[in-house]
Amino acid sequence: MRPGRAFRAGLLTVAVLGASMSVGSQATAAPECPDVEVVFARGTDEPAGIGQVGRAFVNTLKPMLKGLSIGTYAVEYPASFDFLEAAAGANDMSRRIKSTVADCPDTKLVLGGYSQGAAVVDIVTTAPMAGFGYTEPLPRAVVPHVAAVVVFGNPSARLGQPLTRMSPDFGAKTADLCNKADPICSLGRDWNSHITYQKSPLVKTAAEWVAKLVHATGTDSTGSS
């Protein structure tokens, strides 16, 4: 898919987003220049923080990365029913990525999102240029610093454009995870399967994926060992 078309597809996914009614929790304070930082965008209507899915993912990941310090950053955006505000989340996520690479070049970045937060990740990882409210496209120089990407309940997957296919730079590092009956990321009809990812085995699948890629990058986020 051409980059411009992929970007438009990422933005259009907000049209099929629903509300995630689960309650989130605040992100933990990250140590200065942690070995790994998880930058996570919560789902629709969750309180500020990384949300329940983000928290479950981080808690599952920590034991798999023993000996490494793990920080979290909660993407700041409304996560409201105005789904076009996903662009605001994409801007904040991009700014965080760029500032972390500048200030902590050895930190391995993990990008993540759930539901509308997954659409935020779609925009960041597929947009080659600014547009449609997104003003912070990533320079290619930051790509090697991103060790892995995980998204849950990604609306673009329902449109036949999972992030693994949409993003030429990050697709190979991405786990785009969808519960079988989730109506947001598949043709399923079980709404409950969309709002219970924090209890799903897919959280462990995502953590295992990330742990494997973090370990594979060696001692720094540029892939040297």
Catalytic residue list: 115, 182, 194
89: which strand partners?
none
Number of residues that this document lists for the chain: 225
Q: What is the 3-state secondary structure (H, E, C) of the chain?
A: CCHHHHHHHHHHHHHHCCCCCCCCCCCCCCCCCCCEEEEEECCCCCCCCCHHHHHHHHHHHHHHHCCCCEEEEECCCCCCCCHHHHHHHHHHHHHHHHHHHHHCCCCEEEEEEECHHHHHHHHHHHCCCCECCECCCCCHHHHHHEEEEEEECCHHHHCCCCHHHHCCCCHHHEEEECCCCCCCCCCCCCHHHCCCHHHCCHHHHHHHHHHHHHHHCCCCCCCCC
**End-to-end CA separation in angstroms for the chain:** 33
Tokens of 31: 């140590």
